[in-house]
């Protein structure tokens, strides 16, 4: 798959402050979570890819379009939902989003048609002629999503889309993000401080720390590779079975009356645990892998030293 975003030693400076530090990588996920503590550089990275900030060094490309040399072509492929409200006072949703569509290059008639479609898609069809200042917080977030989608982008940047929303409004936003992702027509970059949002919506995650990329991987692939830590529940002679498991070179710890925690060495497989159980006439009633949560992954990333690189843990 061709990369959606390519970065080559991308750095951004504001005076003496180096906001982004030599970030490199090629990213092609359908939904990428962008995580990091406050001040890590998440919004700076998005704004740089949008052309708001000029890189001090390095390059960035969106679908192969250079963000400096082909800035207009790159921006035409992007939809952006900002964290803060950026509405024009006194405008209805239809008028505002139509304006955004025309500024994105759509002719007036097509812009109006796409505006109605976008507002109905996000659930604001019945309120589309109301002024935006009368909207609730959740409705304003949906209007920002509609304006980001109206021109049919290939890449969608969502900056804190659920910030401040109550549970029903958050669930509605998450459902829309998943639906956009699952069409396969739009790639999503979700910047959020809420790990739960990223874990629900994203297949891949980028973690920034102090302006550097310290982690980038596919979440499911990462979890699939972490399969040497097991927890078993058995019926039968537990002491004898544990002795046999240790004879295979595994580390074992007894957890309760039935559970055993096992660390498999690289040369051993789960099939050998079942074969041993069969030989000893022991029943394995339950076997589960220890899976790192996104919180575990995030905390490990925060322990990584900052020094650029490709972000592999």
**Do 58 and 178 lie in a common domain?**
yes
Which CATH number covers residue 53? 3.40.50.300
pLDDT of 131 reads 97
Q: Are residues 277 and 141 in the same domain?
A: no
**210 in the same domain as 257:** no
Residues 130 and 157 in one domain: yes
Q: What is the 3-state secondary structure (H, E, C) of 208-227?
A: EECCEEEEEEEHHHHHHHCC
Q: Which domain holds residue 272?
A: 227-289
- pLDDT confidence of 92, banded at 50, 70, 90? very high
pLDDT at 151 over 90: yes
What's the number of domains the chain is made of? 2
Q: Are residues 169 and 256 in the same domain?
A: no
Residue 18 belongs to some domain of the structure? yes
Whether residue 79 is contained in a domain is answered as yes
Confidence of residue 13 (pLDDT cuts 50, 70, 90): very high
Mean pLDDT of 142-147: 97
Average pLDDT over residues 144-161: 97
- Tell me the C-alpha distance between 6 and 24, whole Å: 7
**With 80 as the cut, is the pLDDT of residue 132 above it?**
yes
Same domain, 276 and 130: no
At 266-313, the pLDDT tens digits run 788 889 999 999 999 999 988 887 666 788 788 888 887 776 445 554
Contacts of 196 (CB under 8 A, 6+ apart): none
Structure confidence by residue, pLDDT tens digits, 182-237:
998 999 999 998 899 999 999 899 999 999 999 898 877 766 665 578 888 988 99
Judgement on whether residues 280 and 134 belong to the same structural domain of the protein:
no
Confidence (pTM): 0.79
Of the listed ranges 88-97, 146-155, 225-234, the least confidently predicted one is 225-234
Residues 238 and 189 in one domain: no
* pLDDT tens digit sequence for 36-59: 998 899 999 999 999 999 999 999
168 shares a domain with 246? no
Closest listed residue to residue 128, CA positions, set 138, 139, 137: 139
The DSSP symbol for 63 reads: T
Question: Which CATH number do you get for residue 251?
Answer: 3.30.70.1340
- Output the pLDDT for position 308: 45
Q: Are residues 111 and 134 in the same domain?
A: yes
pLDDT tens figures, 263-274: 888 788 889 999
Residues 138 and 265 in one domain: no
3-state secondary structure of 141: helix
Three-class SS string for 217-285? EEHHHHHHHCCCEEEEEEECCHHHHHHHHHHCCCEEEECCCCEEEEECCCCCCHHHHHHHHHHCCCEEE
Token pair for 7: 């970065």
């Amino acid at each position: 798959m061709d990369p959606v975003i390519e970065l080559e030693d991308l750095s951004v400076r504001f005076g003496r402050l180096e906001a982004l530090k030599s970030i490199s990588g090629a990213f092609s996920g359908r939904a990428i979570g962008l995580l990091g503590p406050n001040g890590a550089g998440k919004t700076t990275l998005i704004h740089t890819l949008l052309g708001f900030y000029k890189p001090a060094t390095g390059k960035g490309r969106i679908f192969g379009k250079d963000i400096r040399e082909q800035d207009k072509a790159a921006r035409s492929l992007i939809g952006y939902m900002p964290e803060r409200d950026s509405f024009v006072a006194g405008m209805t949703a239809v008028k505002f989003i139509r304006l955004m569509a025309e500024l994105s290059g759509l002719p007036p008639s097509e812009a109006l048609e796409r505006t109605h479609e976008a507002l109905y898609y996000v659930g604001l069809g019945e309120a589309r002629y109301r002024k935006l200042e009368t909207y609730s917080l959740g409705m304003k977030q949906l209007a920002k999503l509609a304006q980001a989608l109206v021109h049919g982008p290939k890449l969608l940047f969502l900056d804190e889309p659920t910030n401040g929303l109550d549970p029903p409004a958050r669930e509605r936003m998450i459902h829309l993000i998943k639906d956009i992702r699952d069409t396969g027509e739009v790639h999503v970059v979700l910047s959020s401080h809420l790990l739960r949002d990223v874990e629900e919506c994203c297949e891949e995650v980028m973690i920034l720390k102090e302006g550097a990329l310290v982690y980038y991987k596919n979440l499911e692939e990462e979890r699939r590779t972490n399969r040497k830590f097991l927890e078993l529940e058995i019926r039968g002679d537990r002491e004898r079975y544990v002795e046999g498991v240790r004879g295979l070179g595994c580390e074992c710890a007894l957890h309760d009356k039935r559970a055993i925690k096992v660390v498999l060495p690289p040369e051993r497989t789960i099939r050998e645990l079942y074969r041993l159980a069969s030989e000893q006439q022991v029943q394995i009633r339950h076997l589960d892998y220890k899976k790192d949560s996104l919180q575990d992954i995030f905390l490990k990333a925060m322990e990584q030293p900052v020094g650029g690189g490709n972000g592999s843990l």
